[in-house]
């Protein structure tokens, strides 16, 4: 989806518009494509060539004809784009844009974990490093995890890593027993059940939309669970007029743009903190996009042996979820 920039961008302060004009001329000069995740700040979503969830973005990265990919998301997403496009330059506006799921699943610890289950097939959520992907048989995203697990032979024992909340939800949906790596997302773990229940009592007509990285007690009382793109699609297809949204609030931008007459309510973190925003996603800014296009840095680099090993489970995912 190419984000419609014109109207909102014209309303921005002059300095912001000038940055966007400079980004535009550089992206044409460099033959660059700007890919953005739904958790990016509104202005980044508006200037991106394509906005999507992890699966959409990896598909786009696989098919782009651009010479340069500016990945406005977190490191593992840009790394996936590089694994798929070794010949292209992949830039990330801020190299520190990590992810707790990926960072807390170190390749050596994962190798030890796998060694305890030598007969297991290893399904890994895309939120992990290239080194962990290289140790996996199949990659999945929150959009296709249940479908992919359902396609695997019934008797096959499976490791699922690194998100245990997503893993438990997949177990429930598929009826399969999965051996789970004990990781979680610091953002989705922080939604307050108390705040959610208060909001549900205040808006009894509201439909609760949740990302499967949320904890089970929250998923149990949600009405619809899915990846970011599935949550947006659900808001579009549902008859409900009001939604309580249990995921990073960046997603509300697309929801409000598509459905300006519906109401979207975000859920605060525990003790009312604003930790429902992903601190890593929010490191990217328009200024940093401009700087990275000017300097052609920071670039994503991956060891070629690791890249080749990491490529096959990603390719398998793309083939299986066609
Ligand atoms: P999606 O694939 O649903 O966009 O999720 C990515 C993510 O990092 C969620 O926290
Ligand atoms: Fe990672 Fe959570 Fe941020 Fe998604 S929201 S990128 S899982 S830290």
Q: What percentage of the chain reaches a pLDDT higher than 70? A: 98
Rounded to the nearest integer, the mean pLDDT of the chain is: 95
CATH number of the domain residue 44 falls in: 3.40.50.10800
Q: Choose the weakest-confidence range: 118-122, 146-150, 206-210, 269-273.
A: 269-273
Distance (Å) from CA 145 to ligand 1 centroid: 12
- Asked if the structure places residue 274 within a domain, the reply is no
Identify the pLDDT of residue 4. Answer: 44
In a shared domain, residues 114 and 260: no
Residue 87 has pLDDT above 90, yes or no: yes
Domain presence at residue 42: yes
The number of distinct structural domains making up the chain is 3
Residue 271 lies in a domain: no
Ligand number nearest to the C-alpha of 184: 2
Per-residue pLDDT for 2 more than 70? Answer: no
| CB 127 less than 6 A from any atom of ligand 1 | yes
- What confidence tier does 5 reach under pLDDT thresholds 50, 70, 90? low
Quick one: 51 and 80 in the same domain? yes
Those residues whose C-beta lies under 8 Å from the C-beta of residue 96, and which sit 6 or more positions away, are 280, 283
Question: CB of 142 closer than 6 A to ligand 2?
Answer: no
pLDDT at 173: 97
208 in contact with ligand 1, CB cutoff 6 A: no
pLDDT at 124: 98
pLDDT in tens, 30-58: 999 999 999 999 999 999 999 999 999 99
Ligand 2 site, residue 78, Cβ cutoff 6 A: no
Atom number, ligand 2, closest to the C-alpha of residue 102: 1
Of 55, 16, 205, 83, the closest CA to residue 144 belongs to 55
Domain presence at residue 276: no
pLDDT at 300 over 50: yes
Q: What percent of the chain has pLDDT over 90?
A: 93
97 Cβ below 6 A of ligand 2: no
One domain for residues 228 and 289: no
pLDDT band per the 50, 70, 90 thresholds, residue 129: very high
Residue 9: the pLDDT is 75
Å from CA of 74 to ligand 2 middle? 8
Tokens standing for residue 160: 């699922």
pLDDT in tens, 171-190: 999 999 999 999 999 999 99
How many Å lie between the centroid of ligand 1 and the Cα of residue 20? 26
Instruction: Using a cut of 0.75, tell me whether the model's pTM lies above it.
Output: yes
Residues 314 and 170 placed together within one structural domain of the fold: yes
Same domain? For 29 and 169 the reply is no
Asked if residue 269 has pLDDT above 90, the reply is no
Write down the pLDDT at residue 3: 46
Q: What band does 306 get if pLDDT is binned at 50, 70 and 90?
A: very high
Domain region containing 94: 3-99+281-301
In ligand 1, which atom is closest to the CA atom of 53?
A: 4
Residue 86 included in any domain? yes
Same domain, 86 and 13: yes
pLDDT of residue 274: 74
| pLDDT confidence of residue 1 | 46
Do the beta carbons of residue 310 and residue 138 sit within 8 Å? no
Residue 215 C-alpha to ligand 1 middle, in angstroms?
A: 15
Residue closest by Cα to atom 3 of ligand 1 = 227
- State pLDDT tens for residues 254-263: 999 999 999 9
Question: Strand pairing of 121-125 and 207-210?
Answer: unpaired
């Amino acid at each position: 989806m190419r984000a419609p920039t014109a109207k909102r961008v014209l309303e921005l302060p002059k300095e912001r518009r000038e940055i966007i004009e400079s980004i535009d001329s550089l992206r044409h000069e460099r033959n660059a494509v700007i890919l953005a995740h739904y958790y990016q700040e509104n202005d980044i979503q508006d200037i991106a060539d394509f906005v999507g969830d992890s699966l959409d973005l990896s598909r786009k990265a696989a098919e782009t004809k651009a010479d340069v990919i500016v990945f406005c998301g977190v490191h593992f997403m840009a790394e996936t784009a590089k694994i798929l496009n070794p010949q292209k330059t992949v830039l990330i506006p801020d190299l520190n844009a990590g992810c707790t799921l990926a960072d807390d699943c170190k390749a050596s610890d994962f190798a030890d974990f796998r060694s305890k289950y030598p007969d297991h097939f290893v399904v890994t959520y895309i939120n992990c490093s290239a080194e962990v992907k290289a140790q996996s048989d199949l990659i999945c995203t929150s959009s296709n995890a249940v479908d992919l697990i359902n396609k695997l032979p019934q008797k096959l024992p499976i490791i699922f890593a690194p998100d245990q909340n997503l893993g438990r939800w997949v177990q429930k949906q598929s009826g399969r027993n999965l051996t789970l790596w004990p990781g979680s997302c610091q953002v989705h773990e922080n939604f307050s059940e108390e705040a959610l229940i208060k909001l549900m009592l205040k808006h009894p007509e509201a439909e609760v939309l949740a990302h499967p990285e949320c904890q089970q007690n929250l998923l149990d009382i949600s009405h619809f669970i899915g990846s970011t793109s599935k949550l947006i699609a659900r808001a579009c297809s549902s008859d409900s007029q009001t939604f309580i949204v249990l995921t990073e609030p960046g997603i509300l931008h697309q929801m409000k743009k598509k459905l300006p007459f519906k109401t979207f309510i975000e859920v605060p973190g525990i003790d009312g903190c604003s930790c429902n925003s992903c601190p890593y996603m929010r490191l990217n800014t328009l200024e940093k996009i401009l700087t990275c296009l000017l300097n052609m840095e920071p670039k994503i680099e991956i060891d070629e042996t690791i890249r080749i090993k990491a490529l096959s489970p990603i390719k398998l995912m793309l083939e299986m979820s066609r």
